[in-house]
Structure 1
Amino acid sequence: MYDRFEVNKVLVVAPLRVAEDTWTKESAKWDHLRGLRVVRVLGSQAQRIRALETDADIYCINRENIPWLVKYYGTEWPFDGVVLDELSSFKSPSSKRFKAMRKVRPLIKHIVGLTGTPSPNGLIDLWAQIYLLDQGKRLGRTLTEYRNRYFNPGRRNGYVVYDWVPKDGAEDEIYRRISDICISMKACDYLKLPERVDVVRTVKLDDEAQTAYTEMEKEAVLELGPNEIVDAGTAAVVSGKLLQIANGAVYDENGKTHIIHESKLDTLEDVIEAVNGRPVLVFYAYQHDLERIMQRFPQARKLEGSAEIDAWNRGEIPILLAHPAGAGHGLNLQAGGNHIVWFGLTWSLELYQQANARIYRQGVKGERVTITHLVTEGTIDEDVMRVLDGKATRQDALLEAVKARVEKYQSNGKEIT
């Protein structure tokens, strides 16, 4: 900006908490960045407009407001430099944020994309991200062109294709085409990272809770109907209900919470007691998880924003509760502790890896980071761990887990007793 004058005005697009907290704080830490004026384009529309009217060098906005920003400026787009922090959040070409960025892309002189997980669901995810960098020069101007050139349809139901399988040699060709604009760096190759220890704590259900889980699992599967095809959508619905039950509670059709067991809470209490007062970052999956954890542990605080981030990093929060979708990208939490607990597991390897990286990074306290997974025995938790262990792909494991349960409880439309 001030050395080579390649750009005059820069927009940073990031997850909400990263736009709110990380970019301003990190820029203040580095001598060569302290002269840059950083403004956060957040809050109400009036607040965002006031921020845009402020004289600054860098304007940080959350990705959800990109469609609004593009509409606000129209053809008078002022940002000749753009940084897409967490580029993988633009991987869907049908999303509003992608369409908005695509519209103004010809007006951007210099663009950079940052991500630790560029292809969480396979190479098919790369097209939209690379398009925003080069406007289709390397992988094609349309997703259809990209798919036809490099992929064959995988599983399908009529005209609906559930996944795309790379053709022979496609992976190497794709990497070759994008190699001149992509730089891949692993933290472990350049930074001294602490030892990482992954622990699986088995959660055992008592007879009553196991019976309740089995009955509710059976009910969830049989709701599909004997002739219903198990595709990615129906599998996700069933899986979500089973994961809730494994955690100890479930929502009914009216949104009311029903408690099934407290076995995970009991195991979480054992883990927290074992760390002997050291801070613990706990990832939860559902709102009822959050509510039950906070009821059991009054000293816990939910991650809301900068206040909790600062307090955690100062060592003032013994138990910080976060959802991986809200804290999985960009936040620096390594100064506050070195122990992570997954109370509720996620099928998303991208969210899992990004969430762990909030603590497993340079600057963490201590010489070891411990990541504990609470896995309820005999439940779908065990299938999710196979994905997180890298022993299965998310889509395959999700479908197979639900199909196995369908076969268990259905036979030609009748229940197996």
Structure 2
Amino acid sequence: MEQLIAVFTSKRNIGLTAIPYFATFNENQPITLHEHATPEHIRAEPERFSDQQKEMILLLTKISEHNLHRRYGKKESLKTFMDQLQVHPHFEKEILPFIDRTIYSAIYLLGQSGLKAYYKDGTFSNVYQSDRLIIRETPAQPVFDFTLTSEGLEYSLKVRQALEDNKPDKEFALLGRDVEFISRETAVLKIHHNIYYFKNIDSNKFKPFLDKSTIHVPMRQVDIYMEGFVSKCIRNFDVTGKGFEVIEKKEQPLPHLALIKDLKHLPVLGLHFKYGNRIFLADRLAPVYVEYVKSEQGYAFHKIVRDFDFELSIINRLNELGLVKTGDALFQPEACTSKKTATQMLAFMADWINLNKEQLNKEGFSIETNFDNRNIFVGKATLKVDSSEDNDWFEIKVRVQIGEFNLPFFKFRKNLIEENPEFELPNGQTFMIPPEWFTRFSELFDYAKVDKNSIRLPRSHFQIMERVKYGVGQIDKKTDVPKIVFPQVEIPEGIQAKLRPYQTEGYAWLNFLMENGYGGILADDMGLGKTLQTITLLQKIYDNIERQTIDPQEALMTPEETAEERAQQLSLFGAPAVKTFNKTGIPASLIVMPTSLVHNWQDELSKFSPGMRIYNYTGTNRLRSKDIGKIFQHYHIVLTSYGVLRNDIELMANYTFHYFILDESQYVKNPTSKVYEAVKQIQSKHRLTLTGTPIENSLVDLWAQMNLVNKGLLGSLAFFKRHFVQPITRHKAEDKEVKLQKLIQPFLLRRTKEKVAKDLPPIMEQVLYCDMTPEQEKFYEREKSGIRNSIYQVFEHKTPEQSAIMALQALTRLRQIANHPVMVDESYQGSSGKFEQIVDKLESIVAEGHNVLVFSSFVKDLELLQKELQIKKLSFTKLIGSTRERDKVIQEFNDKASIFLISLKAGGVGLNLTKADYVFMLNPWWNPAAESQAINRAHRIGQTRNVFVYRFLSSGTIEDKIARLQQKKSQLADVFVNNNNPLTDLSQEEILELFS
């Protein structure tokens, strides 16, 4: 059976080297050598070899003639290279040392592994079992014997080899022995069939003793030898000596930490150990130190052996105290691993020293804090924070005590804003501002007004105030956004409804905001009862005075009242000629909403809170007067629309409302719009917004709405974009995400149906991919090719804003073709794969007795479907933007129609259509939130059946890519709560990708 062996043999110009062979052992016969073992054998049969065998093959292959030639002699043939090897320009400095190191590694491996090695004499053609070489597991040791006399110094060198099986060590001299040197750098000797390898001595030390037993050093050279050669031998080897002393000193090491620079010029803590007067870096490069001493009494050597067990215990102790190793003797606080600048790292180190200095001193450490020509202060630094409340502000005063210096806090403002920890003290020392101060105060300066004497922070930033007062705690963990529990509050008696547990919790949150003077965004999923929670809060406000029961029909004052009634209203500007319904003394509250929701709010208020009087300030016949507030004050609730508010803001801004509530507040997400400017002018004590989609297209939507209810909470729009929008959307900055979550968390309440309305039946969603018909596909590809060419030209000659607009127009055209080409070309005679599948599905579902909501982004799409439904005599009704009698259309569906055709914009909000148990989304829209709102028309409280949602996508079209874009926007909204041109946020490359 073949075995792997190593065969040592002499090679021309190299000397003794080794080759791995496959060999067969034959009884009383020479060993049969078959072939060299190579890396190719390992690759072919890896399971055939042990790890040590693989390592030996790879090592010895490095010094084969072919590999040496490949490495050092590419410009000449193999024969020429080997013939002229000894005159090669790199032979002495590179080639021989490389061979030596490799041979030494192979011999060390043979000694450790027990793999067999044999010697092949060049004068014989065969290898015999008697040629086996003995390579022991333990390296040999050099033994020096020095004798100092009045005539000089004599010394000898012997070899000591530890033997196995508890036999005594073998010690012998080299004189008279046949010695062959295999490796030169680190000595390896072959003596007969024994190979002796050493660890830290070269071959030249042994060569003089091949022909002599001792070496004599004359007296005139003794001093030089004793200080140099003898000292090194005592340090590195076993030495016996006469005529001088070797004194081994047992020193108790003392740990020493110093601020130093590493190879990258970054600050680190260097660990040293003091042994007497000698300081060692905490590595293992100098395990023994020898000090040469010459005196009148003679020569002596003080030998210090380092206590590595103690040193290791100190290293472990530093790990326990929060340091991590960056090198053999270099450490830094764990927090430094994520910091990039040298100054920031130095601040963390100074902070670590400050925190641990007392304990380190107790444990015997000495500490050096001079760094880069600066004296780093490591004394005690304390903060004293005083605060008080003044209306809408926290008044904050901070004093800083650093050693003997008492300093005003405003002196540190610039450093904290610029994240610069270095602060020069009056005595010239450098105080490194603790990292905890940056966490504690950095946000303060983002939102506070600061002068020399005080700091004023808006009360809405109570979380920042908590951090400033009490410092950094568990709340500041990177991913820890705290959950605030609000005190329970009783449901007011005037509410004619039973609130669900999550609605009670939402009401308690609203009450918490009101009592503490904060605004909020109630952002529950559509259908979870945001209206009822809000009405409950309003009822509590107006329920603290004797209530009166009012007929629901009487409770509403509408603009369509008679001229006589309007005259009565006008008389209110003088004396109260009509009954005052609001006797609480609390001003009226204003609720603003899309026009389509006014009727819904009227119904909900009359149903849930019949005791409150409502004034409907809408319609063309509404009373427009600068004194309109004199009418408002006699009512509890004023309802109006966004359009009326924008047009009548000069009149409505004259009255101070108690609560100002915006429903579907995403309508005011554009901070540059006229309606947004109008909303900002309304005066009120409290503010609240209601929306299921606080983020539709970008984080600016969130800023716009939060700025209305808690002005300044998120800073200016420019600050918000720079500080949050860009880092989060462009760089996926997780720390900014968490910081923004913490800022908005107390003021934004978001619950999903899946989490709180667990009694709702499940919703099943399915994407139906529709193949285009051949004629539709041909039409689509022709249009796409033309559009793509024109878009390239647009990007070359138009601004990014103009390019985005034109790209959106082009994409809209492709979306319409994906639905049905006739939407863009009435002469088109073919069909549409998606349209046919929609009609087939509708017929089947209606035949089974189900009811369907059909949503489309395009009115033309619904009109095409309407014609087909009329032909097939399927009952339907339709709601689009131009529909005037919305209530009538909704009632018609609830009473008799099976199909409700709805445009996405007209029917996305304000509808309760739980009759339907199927929802068709005919085409994907840019904003997934709009689709979710549409689905929630059917999947809301009151629904008792499973809801099935079908999303229709034309395969291989722009609709596929819109679906992927939806995913990206949905993820952004989910992080924080959960522009009508979505392309404005995309790069040119991303837009062109949509047309690819």
Q: TM-score of the superposition, structure 1-length normalised?
A: 0.82
Tell me how far 1:250 sits from its aligned partner: 6.0
- Which of the numbers 935, 938, 954 marks the counterpart of 1:356? 935
The count of corresponding residues between Structure 1 and Structure 2 is 384
1:109 matched to which residue of 2?
A: 685
Which residue number in structure 1 is paired with residue 127 of structure 2?
none
CA distance in 1, matches of 2:811, 2:987: 7
Question: Is 1:371–2:944 an aligned residue pair?
Answer: no
Deviations 1:375-395 (A, max 9, x none): 111111112223445698765
Aligned to 2:643: 64
- 1:287 pairs with 2:827: no
**Which of these residues, 190, 196, 200, is aligned with residue 767 of structure 2?**
200
Of residues 605, 617, 642, the one that matches 1:41 is: 617
In structure 1, the partner of 2:736 is: 170
Offset at 1:240?
0.9
For 2:979, the equivalent position in structure 1 comes to none
Q: How does 1:28-177 map to 2 (within 5 A)?
A: 28-30=606-608, 33-44=609-620, 46-47=621-622, 49=624, 56-74=635-653, 76-104=654-682, 107-136=683-712, 138-140=713-715, 142-152=716-726, 167-177=733-743
| 2:888 alignment partner, one of 266, 290, 307 | 307
The residue that corresponds to 1:243 in the other structure is 815
Q: Gapped runs of 5+ residues in structure 1? A: 155-162, 409-417
Deviations 1:187-242 (A, max 9, x none): 32222221111122222222111101111122222232436267543332222111
CA contact (8 A) 1:238 1:402 kept: no
Show CA shifts across 1:110-156 (max 9, x none): 111111221233433221111110121x111x2012223334379xx
Residue in 2 that maps onto 1:325: 905
* 1:223 alignment partner in structure 2: 790
Whole-angstrom CA distance in 1 between matches of 2:643 and 2:869: 33
Offset at 1:68? 1.1
Q: 1:80 to 1:391 in 2, by over 3 A?
A: closer
* Contact residue 220 and residue 241 of structure 1 kept, 8 A: no
Distance 1:209 1:178, change over 3 A: closer
What does the per-residue CA deviation read over 1:6-55, in whole Å, with 9 as the maximum and x for residues that have no partner?
Answer: 95312211122122x3212222332xx122233433332x2464999586
% same residue:
24
The question of 1:404 aligning with 2:993 is answered yes
2:753 aligns with 187
* Structure that is richer in strand per residue: 2
Cα distance in 1 for partners of 2:730, 2:913 equals 36
1:150 touches 1:166 (CA, 8 Å); kept in 2?
no
Q: Which amino acid aligns with 2:726?
A: N
How far off is 1:262 after superposition?
A: 3.4
| 8 Å contact from structure 2 (residues 877, 892) kept in 1 | no
Contact in 1 for aligned 2:645/2:652 (Cα 8 Å): no
Q: 1:227 to 1:346 in 2, by over 3 A?
A: closer
Deviations 1:238-275 (A, max 9, x none): 221111111113666xxx75546333331111111221
Structure 2 letter corresponding to 1:271: K
CA deviations on 1:80-123 (whole Å, 9 max, x unpaired) are: 3211112222221111111111122xx21111111122123343
> Using the alignment, how far apart are the partners of 2:737 and 2:910 within structure 1?
28
| Greater RCO (Cα-Cα under 8 Å, separation 6 or more) | 1
The C-alpha deviation readout for 1:325-374, integer Å capped at 9, x for no partner, is: 1211232222x2111101232111121111111111121141x1111111
Q: What is the rounded CA distance, in whole Å, between the counterparts of 1:181 and 1:151 in structure 2?
A: 19
Report the residue type matching 1:309 in the other structure: I
Structure 1 distance, partners of 2:700, 2:675, is 18
Moved more, 370-379 or 171-180: 171-180
CA RMSD of superposed structures (Å): 3.0
Contact 1:239/1:398 (8 A) holds in 2? no
Q: Taking structure 2 as the reference length, what is the TM-score of the superposition?
A: 0.36
Look up the match of 1:157. Answer: none
Aligned to 2:831: 261
Provide the C-alpha distance between the structure 2 equivalents of 1:99 and 1:234, rounded to a whole number of angstroms.
29
Report if the CA contact (8 A) 2:591-2:663 is conserved.
yes
Q: 1:270 aligns with which of 833, 840, 851?
A: 840
Give the Cα separation in 2 of the matches to 1:398 and 1:152.
Answer: 14
**How far apart, CA to CA, are the structure 1 residues paired with 2:866 and 2:622?**
33
Contact 1:257 1:288 in 2 (8 A): no
Asked if the contact 2:928/2:970 (under 8 Å) is kept, the reply is no
Could you tell me whether the CA contact under 8 Å between 1:328 and 1:354 is conserved in 2? Answer: yes
Cα distance in 2 for partners of 1:205, 1:134 equals 50
Cα gap change, 1:401/1:139 in structure 2, threshold over 3 Å: closer, same or farther? Answer: closer
1:412 aligned partner = none
Give the CA deviation at 1:323: 1.4
8 Å CA contact 1:280–1:337 kept in 2: the answer is yes
Cα distance in 1 for residues equivalent to 2:959 and 2:718: 36
Partner of 1:119: helix, strand, or coil? coil
Indicate how the Cα distance of structure 1 residues 250 and 346 shifts in structure 2: closer, same or farther if over 3 A, else same: farther
2:924 maps to 345
Check the 8 A contact 1:120/1:350 in 2, yes or no.
Answer: yes
1:3 aligns with 2:543: yes
Aligned pair in 2 of structure 1 residues 198, 222: CA closer, same or farther (>3 Å)?
same
**Distance (Å, rounded) in 1 between the aligned partners of 2:994 and 2:743:** 43
Decide whether aligned partners of structure 1 residues 40 and 292 sit closer, same or farther in structure 2, where only a CA change above 3 A counts.
farther
Per the alignment, in what secondary structure is the counterpart of residue 200 of structure 1? strand
Equivalents in 2 of 1:143, 1:371: separation in Å? 38
CA deviation after TM superposition for structure 1 residue 289, in Å? 0.9
Higher-Rg structure is 2
Aligned counterpart in structure 1 of residue 960 of structure 2, from 359, 367, 382: 382
Contact 2:857 2:905 in 1 (8 A): no
Letter in 1 for 2:706: I
